[in-house]
Chain A
Amino acid sequence: NAGVTQTPKFRVLKTGQSMTLLCAQDMNHEYMYWYRQDPGMGLRLIHYSVGEGTTAKGEVPDGYNVSRLKKQNFLLGLESAAPSQTSVYFCASSYSGQQIYGYTFGSGTRLTVV
């Protein structure tokens, strides 16, 4: 089925460890986004990309890096995980910035940093 796929779905990290979250979409969308969702805070934008080879910072980018080497993939990296990065991470994609056709979200990655 067409959509946005996130891997892994769950992960437990120790403080200081690194990891990469993968987001893949098969809808030929130009725009891709990484959000985090925390209780009482709602969803907040971490980084986004407006096309292959481009990335930009969102509202809460500190401690994260991203790459978009291929149009269909958007990677979110944590170089040195901290307990404050315990969250649920959602990837999303859209056809254009004006989102004429709306957003498509992945099912999320639940990350715990101990």
Chain B
Amino acid sequence: KQEVTQIPAALSVPEGENLVLNCSFTDSAIYNLQWFRQDPGKGLTSLLLIQSSQREQTSGRLNASLDKSSGRSTLYIAASQPGDSATYLCAVSGGSQGNLIFGKGTKLSVKP
């Protein structure tokens, strides 16, 4: 059974720092991996989608990498801002039906 783990569970950094969020999964047979952002009381916003054949994706200050063989992904956030404060969720898709298996998230707080 696929399991997704995110470390750390919570992270607090001063504004301007570069930071890395980690995601690991137990079964390397995935279609893709996605990173989402969730603000308190809100829905999920898709940040980056990495197909299984890709190594990384970039969007603005965000860069996500995927090492399928080792079952790991990282989300790199450059020059963090208070507006980046949110919970970041990692999810993998392993079946043709498209359902996602989620990690429990990393709660990020960026202090001004």
Q: Determine if A90 and B34 form an interchain contact, defined as CB atoms under 8 angstroms apart.
A: no
- Supposing A42-B103, A42-B104, A90-B44 touch, asked if A102 and B49 sit within 8 A by C-beta, the answer is yes
Q: Determine if B42 and A108 form an interchain contact, defined as CB atoms under 8 angstroms apart.
A: yes
Q: Determine if B98 and A94 form an interchain contact, defined as CB atoms under 8 angstroms apart.
A: yes
Residues of chain B within 8 A (CB-CB) of A101 are 49
Number of chain A interface residues as a range: 20 to 34
- Supposing A99-B31, A102-B46 touch, asked if A56 and B97 sit within 8 A by C-beta, the answer is yes
Residues of chain A within 8 A (CB-CB) of B99 are 33, 45, 48, 58
Query: B-facing mask of A29-50, CB < 8 A → 1, else 0?
Result: 0010100000011111100101
> Is A87 in contact with chain B by the CB < 8 A criterion?
no
> Is A96 in contact with chain B by the CB < 8 A criterion?
yes
| Interface residues, chain A, with chain B CB atoms under 8 Å away | 31, 33, 40-45, 48, 50, 56, 58, 90, 92, 94, 96-108
